Structure 1
Amino acid sequence: MKTQITASGATVPAVLVAGSTDVGVLLAHGAGAGQDHPFMEMMREGVAGAGITVMTFDYPYIAEGRKRPDAPAKLLAFHAAAYDRLANDVERVIVAGKSMGGRIGSHLVTGTVPRGSWDGAPRQAAGLVYLGYPFVAPGKREVRNTEHLATIRAPQLFIQGTRDVLGPLDVVKPVVEELPGSRLEVIAGGDHSFKVRKMDGRDQQEVFASLVEIVAGFAQSLRTGGGT
């Protein structure tokens, strides 16, 4: 079902696929493409196919046809509005996202902002899913500050490819190991978009199907209780 999200005097499109009422997944897109990208559609429809309510939405810059992401505070405002919309239909929300969308989701749950200021309140999550968390900014070498992740009490699922330049495993593993209740799923041969090469000997569609299975399984595990 197509719907809309309104925040800061603007409206963006969203898609809600209804299923479970006890828990739902809010899936935010990455920096380079919106909710209509084939990867996002695949994840949305795949997880929904497991009986889980899923909602995606576009951040304002995507809805307006711009390439550069909005300031973090603006992204958070719309992410919060999307969360609130989904929370009307389900008891508990799993905050999930691809790359930037996952990172902004983590800040939504902790009530923090990467830079600048945001006057919104943090949102509670049943769990969090990061599809390629961007531990390293594009074109940079230094690792981003991830201290806020340690304040999250809900289960956190990190899914990272072994060839992800924004999430090198030698950076990811030490961080995840220090987070109580967190889990790391490694996609062999996957890059930041979870694309594999022919030389990896893996079927791309099977890789994508495994992502759906991992996320759907995580959501199912939280249907009878879990994170706060």
Structure 2
Amino acid sequence: MPERVTIAWEGGTVSGRFVPANGSTGVLLAHGAGLGQDHEWMVYVRDGLAAAGIPVMTFDYPYMEAGRKAPNPARILLACHRAALAELRTRVVRVVLAGKSMGGRMGSHVAADGEDVAGLVFYGYPLVGVGKLEPRDVSHLADVGAPMLFVQGTRDRMAPLDLINPVVESTPDTTIHIIEDGDHSFRVLKRTGREPFEVLDEVVAATADWISTL
């Protein structure tokens, strides 16, 4: 069972979950815009990484904690994210910032703003916003200063590979792992014959293998 954690940030408190493991490098796993830390996707990845020997902490952003649907302004999300990072640092030697969609994007800004982290993992980087045509500005990735892993599905409309691949190729020390037939949450087509847990096992294994190289 995960340990329940209270994370204090400048605007109040949010809840977190910490799953200990033997490794000295921990993962701070941030949720996406529409799902919180207790969603089955988050729990499966969290527990899978912990089973691989990687301590993991998750947390809810303030809007999710309050039961609202609309995300907070970026400055609030980032303040909360930094507080969660500070909490995890009291438990592990090094931290990798990982996140589903929006959570990964927020993590990239935390790192680009100067936080010292061991690496970043993006589970479906939201390069193109919902209802948008033009990709977001990702020039801040050049300021991260840590290795990065993009895990991307070939059917992800928010991160088409023809847009993501140039970002990966132009950013130093950056790797991409492709989930064949995966959408933004790595759901695959039925004709592949793959179960959802099998795909997430691939996601966990790719992450754990990459972290072992840091």
TM category, shorter: over 0.9
Tell me the amino acid that sits aligned with residue 168 of structure 1: P
Is 1:183 aligned to residue 175 of structure 2?
Answer: yes
TM-score normalised according to structure 2 size: 0.96
In structure 2, what residue type is equivalent to 1:136? V
Over residues 76-111 of structure 1, what are the superposed CA-to-partner deviations in whole Å (9 max), with x where a residue is unaligned? 000000000000111111011000000000000011
| Alpha-carbon contact 2:24-2:54 (below 8 Å) kept | no
Counterparts of residues 8-23 of structure 1 (less than 5 Å): 8-20=10-22, 22-23=24-25
Unmatched 5+ stretches in structure 2: none
Question: Is the partner of 1:221 in helix, strand or coil?
Answer: coil
The AA in structure 2 aligned to 1:160 is Q
* AA of the residue aligned to 1:14: G
Q: Which residue of 1 aligns with 2:122?
A: 130
Q: How many residues align?
A: 212
CA distance in 1: counterparts of 2:91 and 2:196, whole angstroms: 34
Q: Which residue of 1 aligns with 2:28?
A: 26
CA distance in 2, matches of 1:9, 1:31: 19
> Does residue 169 of structure 1 match 2:161?
yes
- 2:105 corresponds in structure 1 to 103
Shift of 1:21: 5.2
Deviations 1:164-187 (A, max 9, x none): 000000000011001111001110
Moved more, 147-156 or 82-91: 147-156
CA RMSD in angstroms, aligned pairs only: 1.0
Verify: 1:198 aligned to 2:190, yes or no: yes
Cα displacement (A) at 1:218: 1.7
1:59 aligned onto 2:51: no
Unpaired runs of at least 5, structure 1: 112-121, 223-228
Q: Distance in 2 between matches of 1:68 and 1:128?
A: 25
Q: 2: distance between equivalents of 1:107 and 1:91?
A: 21
**Structure 2 CA distance, aligned partners of 1:173 and 1:220?**
23
